[in-house]
Structure formats: C-alpha cells, structure tokens
Structure 1
Amino acid sequence: MMKRVLISLTLATLLVNASVAQPKKRSTGSANAGKPNIILVMVDDLGYSDFGAYGSEIRTPTIDKLAAEGLRLREFYNNSICAPTRASLITGQYHHKAGVGYFNVNLGLPAYQGWLNKESLTFGEVLKSAGYNTYLSGKWHVGNDSLYWPNQRGFDRFYGFIGGASNFYDISPYKDKVPPVELVENNKRIRLEPGKYLTDEITNHAISYINESGNKPFFLYLAYNAPHWPLQAPAEDIAKYKDRYAIGWDSLRKERLAKQIKLGIADPKQSIAEHDPEVVDWQSLTYDEQQLWQRKMEVYAAMVDRVDQNLARVLAELQRLNKADNTLIVLISDNGAQGGLIPTGRKRPRSSGPIGSAGSYDYQEQNWAYVSNTPFRNYKATPYEGGISSPFIAWFPKKIKGGTLAKGTGHLIDLAPTFYELAGAAYPQTFKGVKTNPLPGVSLTNLLFQQTELPADRALFWERAGNRAVRKGPWKIVSIFPQNKWQLFNLETDRGETTDLASQHPDVVKTLNAEYEAWAKRTDVEPYEKLRPLVQGGPGGNPSGAAPTRPTARVE
C-alpha cells in the first residue's frame, strides 16, 4: 500500500511542478506534501461587477487581496442559473449530461431527471480516490432525495442546505410566519440556532474541516448562498452603506463602469449594454420609494461584505495552520444578478419584517441587478453576457503571478480537469462498475500559472429552458425562448451585445448553429417545447423588452 502511495505522490509532484514551473516547495513534513489543498468558493446570484476588484463600491478587501495577489479573468462563464451551474461545476460536465438539464426537478428523461447521475463523477468522488479529504459547506441544489446528497456523492463532510434558497436567520418563536432554516449535517437534519447568521455558520464549519484535515490534502467546496434572496444581513454591516446608494442605479452603473475601465476589466473601445427598458428613471421615484430601494441595495451590499469578512477568517486560519502557501483558492459566482421574475404560479412568502431583518423576503430586482451586471446585458436565467458572466479570481501564493489579468474565456467545465491535474487525480473511465462520461473541458493550469490563453477556436455551448447560445472566438449566437431566432454578436467589439449582426453574417450563424445542433445531440438536449413544464419556474430577466413598470415595495 505504501509503495502505491509513494508512486502516486511522485507522479502528482512531477505533474504539479511541470504545470506550475516554479521553484521547488519546501517540505511540510506531510506524506502528501506534493498535493495542493484546493478551496472552491462560489457565491450565489452575484453580478459580474459586485466585487471591488471587478468595479464595485462594496467593501471586499479580502477578495480584492486575492485578486491583487493572484489572477482575474475577464471572461469566465457559468450556466446562467443555480442548479444547472452547480451540476456542471461539481461534475465537470455540461449540465444535461449530468442529469440536471432544466433544474432540480424531474421532467421524465435522464438528462432532465433533476439530480446528478452516476455517470458524472463529482469532485468528491474523484479527489477522494486520489487521497484527498473532501468537504462541502453551504448550498447543494443538485438532488433533493437523500440518496443523492453530498455524503453519498463522495464528500466526507457536509454542512448546509439541500435546496435552492434558505433564510439566513431562524427565528423559531415566529415559525408560523417565517419558515425555519432547515439544514443537513452529514445526512442528519438539523436547524440553525436562533441568533446565528448562516453565512457565518457555513464558514465555521469550513474552518473546522480545514482543521480536521491535518496533514492530508483537502478539497473544500465553500458554497455560500449570499447574496441570493432573501435580503437579510447583520445590522452592523447594513449600517456601513447608509446613504451610499442615494445616487441611484444609473449613476452607480456609470461609476462602476469607470472603475472597471481603470482596473482593465472593461475595454473602453467596446460597446456596453444599452439602458435596460425595465429599469425606470431614479428621479421618477418618490422620496419614499427611493428610500425603499436604497435599503435593498444597502442590504445586498452588506451580504457581499459579510462573505468577504468570512473569507478573511478562512485565510487567517490557513495562515495559522501554515497551509496558505500550498492552497489554491478559486472564487466564482453561479450566475449573473437576478432581474425580474418569470411568473411561476406560486407566491413568495410575504415579508414579516423590514428589509434586511429575519423574515424579509425582498430581493435585489432588475433595477439594481442592472448595476450588478455592469457592463453587460440582461440577468440571471438568460444566456446574454449579464446572465452567464462570472468574476473569476484564482490565488495560489508563489505559483500564480500576482496582479495577473487575462481574457481567459473559461467555463465551469474547465475547473474539474484543472483540479484533477493539480491533484494528480486520474479521472476513471469506470467508477463502481458504471461507465463514466468523459470530461469535455480543458485544464486551466497553463492559463493560471503561465498566462497562456486558451484555444480561441473552441466552442462553448448553453441551453436552459429553451434559451440557447454558442460562443466561439469573437462570435456568439443567442436565441431566447419562445422567439427561437438566432442573434449574432461580435464580442471582441460588442460584449454589451448591442448590435445584432445575424443578417450581415448568415454564414457565421449557419456554421455556429450546425455546431450547436451537433453538441445538443451528443449532450442529450431536447427541444424545450417537448419538455416545457406546465408551470415554468425560476427567476430571470425580461429579454422580450417589455415596457417598464413602476417598481413595487414587494415582489412575490
């Protein structure tokens, strides 16, 4: 057994040294010293510009430190909405191939069953087989049945919630008005203690896992639900942003764009998204309406701020345990900020307290989401850039060059092959007697450690609820359900997707459509008309460009 472990470690060490091309690391005294620890941080419903390092005014000094000492990508893509993104992230597959083609609901076909299939291996399963301790703290959302919970899919420890959203506080005496915060810890259902804030508790468990790991390498998937609705945050964090948003969304978007250009995140030569027709004029609101909307963004900012504070705690613990120099941290968001709500046939619980408090069920809405997704078009649940673009920050001391800013054009499917390469983990062709789906992504190691751009000619694909897209080189085609008509954009000059070039370049549309059809066939994508649920679900934007309506105090 020891001989097998030593051979494996030697191969892993050679692989990491070849990829990273850095001076030899000092020994930590661990038998697994050649394998890096990996922390994957995902935040929920956070827009492209919501970190300071991507243009925001929100205080994120820890995240900005990771960016300054590491690498940022201008172009990194998700799947536009929670469950499909997580399915791709955790397995390295396009989400249909993993079994979550629509959402975490069963539409009657294997590609749309609503939980991760056995042919698509998780980070936990692959890295555990490679000698890692595997941990998940936070949101799961890729299978409600306990047969498909994290501990059954390769994670040694799990603390968090199974579904798509959760309150951040539990106020048990008022359970008739406010649902309890139902959590799971290692297959046991538990409740959040009254007075505790969920973002803090997710971090507390993550830190305990890091300590538990000892000298073994660990993989930690730290999946925060902030700043996903409901808007709830500690009062002291909300107070930091008092009156910061009195300037309104149009002025703030201009402010963020100017900062993005200064940071090099946005290209001043590119077109930016036009004013969203859903976003009303700030000056048209009454004083009371402005106060209400300011409060929403104050709380949203406080939720992001709290995530940053908790990441500072994680970094401090890594330093205390002398693990920081051998730890890769990757930070992304699951989709763009949430815009308007598609009618779902169900009402959101009515708020039983002011915005920000326990019992608040307000959310950001398109007026502020328009700012969060600066400089892009549209929102969560659509394949426009505002729906699928994520900030991407990677930090690995002495291995990733600090202050690196790259184009990137990576995708969720690229993270699994990246982590497996660094860990020296072989992705098996069969696992527990089941033939596995091959990984479609590419490793980002050369991009991270040598700043070598990814191949410009590879195509990336999206489909969810009939919304489709293909990105290849400078070109991107987008089709929104139910119009089902391809638009064409040149993202080299127009990442704001302001000018449809489909009529000028029908040959490009034809070529990319053919690639889409071939991808859809091999990925088991079905026409949405055949699968469309009787009641559509999920929040998103309004790609139809409907006339704006006056914002309301509550969205249900």
Structure 2
Amino acid sequence: MSITICGLLAYSSFAKEDEGGKPNIIIVLVDDMGYSDLGCYGGEIETPNIDKLAASGIRFTQMYNCARCCPTRASLLTGHYPHQVGMAGMGKNLNMKAATIAEILKLNGYHTGMAGKWHLSLTKARENPDEQLRWLAHQADYGSFSPLENYPVNRGFEEHWGVIWGVVNYFDPFSLVHNENPIKEVGHDFYMTDFITKKSIDLIDQFSKDNDPFFLYVAHNAPHWPLHALPDDIEKYKDTYSEGWDVLRGKRYHRMIELNLINSTTCKLPENSSGKKWDNCLEKEKEVAGMAVHAAMVDRIDHGIGKIIQKLKETGQYDNTVIFILSDNGASYERGYPPGFDRPGFKRDSTEIIYNADHPGAENTWNYLGNAWASAVNTPFRFWKRESYEGGICTPFIVHWPIELKAKKKTINHGVGHVMDILPTCLELAEAEYPSTINGMETVPPEGKSLLPLINRQIAATHDTLFWEHEGGRAVRVGNWKVSALRDSQWELFNLEKDRTESNNLAKKYPKKVTEMNALWDEY
C-alpha cells in the first residue's frame, strides 16, 4: 500500500496549539531480533501491541543498522558511523566529544530517561578468570562496571535503570545499576524484560508531572542469548516450531508477500544460510525448545510495550509521543561460547549453570539460538548478526505518532534510511540544534540526516552512499547497487532493486562496478 504522508514537517504549530508543545520521543531498541519475528513483519510470534502501532503508523522495509550491538547503539545515539565515535569494535568507550541524543535534548528542555542495556562503555574482564566468574555471579565486588564518566547518567540521561555490560542472566543480571549505583540484589520473581518495562513506566509517570517533553530510551536485552524466558510464555510456543526451520522460513516468506512487505519477483527466497536441513537435524526436540524460548522472549517484549502504551494514555501523553521501534542487528548465529568474560558459570548461590541444556529457558541453563534458526527468523535475507549482508544489517522499523499519523493506516515505506538518521530526526522534532561543543570538547556534525523527508516521500533515501564494516564483514550501498563481503572474502555485487535478498552475484558480469565501489570503500 502506498500512501503519501504529509504534514510532519509542519507539525510544530499544530502540536503547540492543540497538543501542548514539542512531542515526547520514545526509542525502543530490541536486541538480536529477527527481521521477520514481529507479526507485522510476517512472524507467527504474538506481538499484538507492536502490530497495532504498525497498523496506525509506518513500517519501513529498508532501514539499516550497523550489524552488531555496540556499533548500532553508538550510531543511533550520536548520528555518526560507529567508527567515528570510538566503536569500531565491541566493548569500547563511546567518544566523549560525540554528543548523544540525550545530551542534546536535555540542553533543550527535555527530560531524559533510559531503561535497559547500555553497552557503550569499556567492558574489561578481570585478569584472573576465577575472579571474573565470581564477579559475574555477584560473589565479588570489584567496583564500577566500566568508567563512570561513560555511564548513561553521565551521557545526558537524568535517570538510568539497567545494565552497563551487554549480556545478562535475565533472572539475576550482572552490572545492574540505578544511575551510578549498583543494584546488588533482586527479588525472586525478577525478570529483566519486565524490569525494563516497569522502569520505563515509572519514568513516564515521573516525567509527566510537569509540562516539559521527555525522551525515553527503552533498550531491551531480549531476545539476545542466553535463551531465558518465563515458563508461561514458553508454554505458548512449545509446539509452534516442531516443523523446523525450513518450513518456518517458507511460511514467513509467504506471509511477508501477503503483507506487501516484499515482492516475490524481486525478492526470491534463498536457501538457509547455515546450509543445514531440518530433516538432517539430530536434536529436533532440543532445537524446537530453543526456538520456543526465543519466541517467548519477543512475546514478553510486546507485553511490555502494551503496558507502556497504556501508561502513555493514562498520563495523557500518548497522542503527542513519537515512538520508534527497531533492532540493533539481525538474529544471532552464535552458539557454543563457554563460561567466561560476560558468561557466568554458576548462579549467585553457586549452582552450576548448564550450557546447551536439553530444556532451555530457566536460570540454570545457558543456550543459544544458532545459525539455522537465525537464518529462518531473518527471512527473507541471507546471513545474520555481525555480517553486512541484509540479514545482519536490515531491521524492522516502525514509526508511530498519533497526532500526525493517525489517518495513515498500515503505511509501508520502502525508502532507505540508517540508524544514524534517528538523532537528526529527534533534533528536528524537538526543534533543537546540534551543539558545537559537548563535555568541554568541540563536536563534529553528525553524518546522519533527518528521516522526515523520507517519511514524507520527498526523497527515496537519506543518503546516496552507505558504508558498513564490522570485524572484517563489510558492505557499500550506492543507490540500488550494493557490494557485500564476509570476512577475508571477495566482494559480491547485487542490484537490490531486482534482487533484494542478494541471491544473484553480479561481480563477474560487472567488474568495473565492483572496482568503482571498492574505490569508495577504500576512501571511506
């Protein structure tokens, strides 16, 4: 369905007269979610609350992230490519001279709050592996979890409830803090996703007590491994995936066609990128159980979104709140990591954690989704998290704003945007200027551009050229041409207008195009 959206660029006078001023802004970032996990993107997982937001807002089909957790978060919050702000790899410090959305909006009269995962500070393990395992299990205290100056509360957020590191035991998370203060104990019924929801609701209540707008960053850990979920949620999906990943990929693909998200002519369904066939799987029961937990984790996120929407309505904030929903990368191929660094070997009470358990989901288990399911839930694309093929870097992206989009039902936007465009968009919505200095240092203007012209269909893409690089995986997109490569591999060339799933490598047919795009890469 193609519907022209107008009025966003002229929202401000309407909002000020009828809705009380500048809009609130909520960014919901989920972790390792597959491109087709949500119901509104073709998935079978029950996500009615997110689906309702999509039905009265906009779904994007070509929104890009940066293939991995830290790079995407850095790009989202600063409007830069991750390499420009100190995030060429994982577990680094976000550059202090890169202004965050929170820092800028706070300077412009916004309340700023965050609930959830930070992962933009130096995460350094103890030199002694035994000390690290005791630290992860809350049996030792070695001070701050990373440099305090790069905690969220010192990067523009008035309030932060969440974790500093990236990986958590969902029932008893390491590095859980309120602002700079560690939260050393949690209740017996603690679950990380519910905690993030509760604190988001609390912050909405807190920020709604005056007339100032607010910015809320809801950064979920789920559905990132370990596969941890609540028993009732797992029960809902215990038999859902018994047909395996090949059937799942096919069913999602056909639903996406029915939803007009993709075109069967220009978007062929490639084989599962893992090369694995369900018929050859020797541990079907365990695999089905693992995928059920992944689905349960996504389901619980949606449950929380419903509560956040309800709170926005109760406080009178719903109509003038812009909500963005996206994922930091594609679903995770990872599997087999043993205890160490950010992975505990035992619980707080010294109970051993069972890795690759037959029945995943509980706190004493530690399981991973794996590449076969990752390829299935990233339907229709190839590959997964970390890689710069579409399965690693293309995210669901939903924009919802009742007072401006209420008459635009189920709009699908095929324009090309990037996560670094979110900061400039927030600044335009807030009528804020990018500062020349931050934290006492000169800033560099962001690479990102506002998404509002893209939303208005005034342009087809926010950038003529886009670049990706993470751990050797790389890509360049110029218009509809894209070169992609795995680590230590040659470029593959694709025309995305005719081949959205990167199935037909044209590198040999058009070597000059590859050379031309490689030159752009070298310059980048």
Question: Are 1:407 and 1:453, in contact at CA under 8 Å, matched by a contact in 2?
Answer: no
**1:191-210 correspondence runs (5 A):** 191-210=185-204
Question: In structure 2, what is the equivalent of residue 225 of structure 1?
Answer: 221
What residue identity is the alignment partner of 1:150? P
SS in 1 for 2:402: coil
What residue identity is the alignment partner of 1:92? G
What is the CA deviation profile of residues 211-243 of structure 1, one whole-angstrom value per residue up to 9, with x for unaligned ones? Answer: 111221000000000100111111111111121
**1:180-195 correspondence runs (5 A):** 181-190=174-183, 191-195=185-189
Question: In structure 2, what is the equivalent of residue 458 of structure 1?
Answer: 464
Question: Are 2:12 and 2:22, in contact at CA under 8 Å, matched by a contact in 1?
Answer: no
Per-residue deviation, 1:22: 8.6
What residue identity is the alignment partner of 1:156? E
Task: Give 1:117's match in structure 2, choosing from 95, 98, 120.
Answer: 95
Q: For 1:18 and 1:218, how far apart are their aligned partners in 2?
A: 19
Task: Give 1:133's match in structure 2, choosing from 105, 108, 111.
Answer: 111
Question: Are 2:274 and 2:375, in contact at CA under 8 Å, matched by a contact in 1?
Answer: no
Task: Give 1:316's match in structure 2, choosing from 290, 302, 310.
Answer: 310
**1:97-116 correspondence runs (5 A):** 97-104=84-91, 114-116=92-94
Task: Give 1:85's match in structure 2, choosing from 72, 83, 103.
Answer: 72
SS in 1 for 2:262: coil
Q: Would the alpha carbon gap of residues 103 and 146 (structure 1) be closer, same or farther in structure 2, given more than 3 Å must change?
A: same
Question: Is it true that 1:373 corresponds to 2:375 in the alignment?
Answer: no
Question: Are 1:89 and 1:412, in contact at CA under 8 Å, matched by a contact in 2?
Answer: yes
Which shifted more, 438-447 or 155-164? 438-447
Question: In structure 1, what is the equivalent of residue 261 of structure 2?
Answer: 265
Per-residue deviation, 1:194: 2.3
Per-residue deviation, 1:25: 3.9
What is the CA deviation profile of residues 242-281 of structure 1, one whole-angstrom value per residue up to 9, with x for unaligned ones? Answer: 2111111111111000000010111111243522363422
Q: For 2:329 and 2:88, how far apart are their aligned partners in 1?
A: 16
Question: Is it true that 1:446 corresponds to 2:456 in the alignment?
Answer: no
Question: In structure 1, what is the equivalent of residue 156 of structure 2?
Answer: 154
Question: Are 1:279 and 1:370, in contact at CA under 8 Å, matched by a contact in 2?
Answer: no
Question: In structure 2, what is the equivalent of residue 339 of structure 1?
Answer: 333
Per-residue deviation, 1:23: 8.3
Task: Give 1:326's match in structure 2, choosing from 320, 331, 343.
Answer: 320
Question: Are 2:96 and 2:439, in contact at CA under 8 Å, matched by a contact in 1?
Answer: no
What residue identity is the alignment partner of 1:165? V
- Normalising to structure 2: TM-score of the pair? 0.87
Q: For 2:338 and 2:469, how far apart are their aligned partners in 1?
A: 20
Question: Are 2:335 and 2:368, in contact at CA under 8 Å, matched by a contact in 1?
Answer: no
What residue identity is the alignment partner of 2:507? A
Question: Are 1:335 and 1:389, in contact at CA under 8 Å, matched by a contact in 2?
Answer: yes
Q: Would the alpha carbon gap of residues 141 and 457 (structure 1) be closer, same or farther in structure 2, given more than 3 Å must change?
A: closer
Question: In structure 1, what is the equivalent of residue 428 of structure 2?
Answer: 421
Per-residue deviation, 1:457: 6.5
Q: For 1:477 and 1:285, how far apart are their aligned partners in 2?
A: 33
Q: Would the alpha carbon gap of residues 343 and 300 (structure 1) be closer, same or farther in structure 2, given more than 3 Å must change?
A: closer
Q: For 2:179 and 2:106, how far apart are their aligned partners in 1?
A: 16
SS in 1 for 2:167: coil
Task: Give 2:503's match in structure 1, choosing from 498, 509, 515.
Answer: 498
Per-residue deviation, 1:26: 7.1
SS in 2 for 1:406: strand
SS in 2 for 1:24: helix
SS in 1 for 2:366: coil
Q: Would the alpha carbon gap of residues 21 and 140 (structure 1) be closer, same or farther in structure 2, given more than 3 Å must change?
A: closer
Task: Give 1:255's match in structure 2, choosing from 251, 269, 282.
Answer: 251
Q: For 2:280 and 2:487, how far apart are their aligned partners in 1?
A: 32
Question: Is it true that 1:36 corresponds to 2:28 in the alignment?
Answer: no
What residue identity is the alignment partner of 1:152? N
Task: Give 2:523's match in structure 1, choosing from 515, 518, 521.
Answer: 518
Per-residue deviation, 1:27: 4.9
Q: For 2:16 and 2:306, how far apart are their aligned partners in 1?
A: 25
What residue identity is the alignment partner of 2:101? F
Per-residue deviation, 1:464: 1.3
Question: In structure 1, what is the equivalent of residue 360 of structure 2?
Answer: 355
- Aligned length, in residue pairs: 479
Q: For 2:334 and 2:8, how far apart are their aligned partners in 1?
A: 47
Per-residue deviation, 1:192: 2.9
SS in 1 for 2:460: coil
Q: Would the alpha carbon gap of residues 209 and 346 (structure 1) be closer, same or farther in structure 2, given more than 3 Å must change?
A: closer
Per-residue deviation, 1:24: 2.5
Question: Are 2:234 and 2:292, in contact at CA under 8 Å, matched by a contact in 1?
Answer: yes
What residue identity is the alignment partner of 1:482? D
SS in 2 for 1:391: strand
Question: In structure 1, what is the equivalent of residue 494 of structure 2?
Answer: 489
SS in 2 for 1:468: strand
Q: Would the alpha carbon gap of residues 197 and 28 (structure 1) be closer, same or farther in structure 2, given more than 3 Å must change?
A: farther
Per-residue deviation, 1:342: 8.9
Q: Would the alpha carbon gap of residues 344 and 285 (structure 1) be closer, same or farther in structure 2, given more than 3 Å must change?
A: closer
Structure 1 unmatched runs, 5+: 1-15, 105-113, 171-179, 520-556
Q: For 1:230 and 1:121, how far apart are their aligned partners in 2?
A: 32
Q: Would the alpha carbon gap of residues 341 and 234 (structure 1) be closer, same or farther in structure 2, given more than 3 Å must change?
A: closer
Question: In structure 2, what is the equivalent of residue 395 of structure 1?
Answer: 400
Q: For 1:257 and 1:41, how far apart are their aligned partners in 2?
A: 25
What is the CA deviation profile of residues 70-105 of structure 1, one whole-angstrom value per residue up to 9, with x for unaligned ones? Answer: 00001010111111111111111100111111111x
Per-residue deviation, 1:328: 0.2
Question: Are 1:296 and 1:355, in contact at CA under 8 Å, matched by a contact in 2?
Answer: yes
Question: Are 2:451 and 2:462, in contact at CA under 8 Å, matched by a contact in 1?
Answer: no
What is the CA deviation profile of residues 5-59 of structure 1, one whole-angstrom value per residue up to 9, with x for unaligned ones? Answer: xxxxxxxxxxx97704598347578xxx321000000000001001000000000
What is the CA deviation profile of residues 398-417 of structure 1, one whole-angstrom value per residue up to 9, with x for unaligned ones? Answer: 31222110112110110000
Per-residue deviation, 1:453: 3.4
Task: Give 1:404's match in structure 2, choosing from 406, 411, 419.
Answer: 411
Per-residue deviation, 1:487: 1.4
Q: For 1:35 and 1:333, how far apart are their aligned partners in 2?
A: 26
Q: For 1:297 and 1:229, how far apart are their aligned partners in 2?
A: 11
Q: Would the alpha carbon gap of residues 309 and 18 (structure 1) be closer, same or farther in structure 2, given more than 3 Å must change?
A: closer
Question: In structure 1, what is the equivalent of residue 143 of structure 2?
Answer: none
Task: Give 2:441's match in structure 1, choosing from 422, 430, 434.
Answer: 434
What residue identity is the alignment partner of 2:169? N
Question: In structure 2, what is the equivalent of residue 275 of structure 1?
Answer: 271
Q: Would the alpha carbon gap of residues 92 and 344 (structure 1) be closer, same or farther in structure 2, given more than 3 Å must change?
A: farther
Question: Are 1:273 and 1:497, in contact at CA under 8 Å, matched by a contact in 2?
Answer: no
SS in 2 for 1:193: coil
Question: Are 1:168 and 1:181, in contact at CA under 8 Å, matched by a contact in 2?
Answer: no
Question: Are 1:296 and 1:364, in contact at CA under 8 Å, matched by a contact in 2?
Answer: yes
Which shifted more, 43-52 or 262-271? 262-271
Q: For 1:515 and 1:296, how far apart are their aligned partners in 2?
A: 42
Question: Are 2:7 and 2:404, in contact at CA under 8 Å, matched by a contact in 1?
Answer: no
